[in-house]
Amino acid sequence: MVVTISRAYGAEGKAVATSTAAQLGYRILDDALPMIEGRAPRFRERLLERLGADVPELSQALASREGDSLTEIAALEIEQKVGEAASAGDVVIVGRCAGLILGAQPDVVRVFVLAALEVRIARICAALGCDAARARSEIARIDGARRTFAHGRYHVVWGDPRNYDLVIDTGRFGVEGSAAIIVAAVRALEAGW
């Protein structure tokens, strides 16, 4: 079986994935996948930014093409790694639109983890030691990048419940309760329910 976990920023999706993998005895695939949103600029991007001071139109055009090709390369690499991990089975895959990549398959449980905005703000403030305005800004930035990528690459609305088998609120069920729900769903599918 394969479990994919997409998550709203601050909903503790990675903690849910870690607990789910431990309870099922599955491996977890998360940090080994390339990043698309929120990555540090590469040397070439920094150089283009500096050149932009003299020729802004050239810099913007080159940066746009460079960014598009880097996103495409990362997306293809993600799709390949997600496919390989799914083929091997017994894995929890975190983020990177893995549920959209794999689609509705009998051996895939696609999960979206969310929580109310106030809950996510409080969690991010505690984790990062920042104020609510900064936490709200980070939520908008990261969730916005995820939404943009899912729409641009897969032509779907990120977080739309129709794209998932389960949508779980960690504000209500907590990390362990959310993981237990996912484990129960996997066990039910394994039993042929």
- 120 touches 11 (CB < 8 A): yes
pLDDT number for residue 23: 96
Does residue 73 belong to any structural domain of this protein?
no
pLDDT number for residue 132: 96
Does residue 70 belong to any structural domain of this protein?
no
Domain count, the chain: 1
- 164 touches 113 (CB < 8 A): no
Residue whose pair of structure tokens reads 């849910």 in the numeric block: 16
pLDDT digits (tens, 9 = 90+) for 91-110: 999 988 889 999 888 899 99
More confident residue, 45 or 162: 162
Residue 159 is part of a domain; what is its CATH number? 3.40.50.300
Tell me if the pTM is above 0.85.
no
Does residue 150 belong to any structural domain of this protein?
yes
pLDDT digits (tens, 9 = 90+) for 114-125: 999 999 999 999
CA distance between the termini of the chain: 14
Does residue 76 belong to any structural domain of this protein?
no
Does residue 183 belong to any structural domain of this protein?
yes
pLDDT digits (tens, 9 = 90+) for 32-85: 655 554 444 444 444 444 444 444 444 444 444 444 566 677 778 888 888 998
pLDDT digits (tens, 9 = 90+) for 122-149: 999 998 899 999 999 999 999 998 899 8
- Residue 7, classed as helix, strand or coil, is strand
pLDDT number for residue 69: 62
- 5 touches 93 (CB < 8 A): yes
Domain enclosing residue 17, as ranges: 2-37+81-190
- 116 touches 131 (CB < 8 A): no
Which H or E run contains 110? strand 108-114
Does residue 47 belong to any structural domain of this protein?
no
More confident residue, 23 or 70: 23
Does residue 166 belong to any structural domain of this protein?
yes
For 148, the token pair is 């943009």
Does residue 153 belong to any structural domain of this protein?
yes
**Could you give the C-alpha distances from 140 to 14, 76, 132, 147, 161, in angstroms and in order?**
18, 26, 12, 10, 19
pLDDT number for residue 61: 44
Band of residue 173 on the pLDDT scale cut at 50, 70, 90: very high
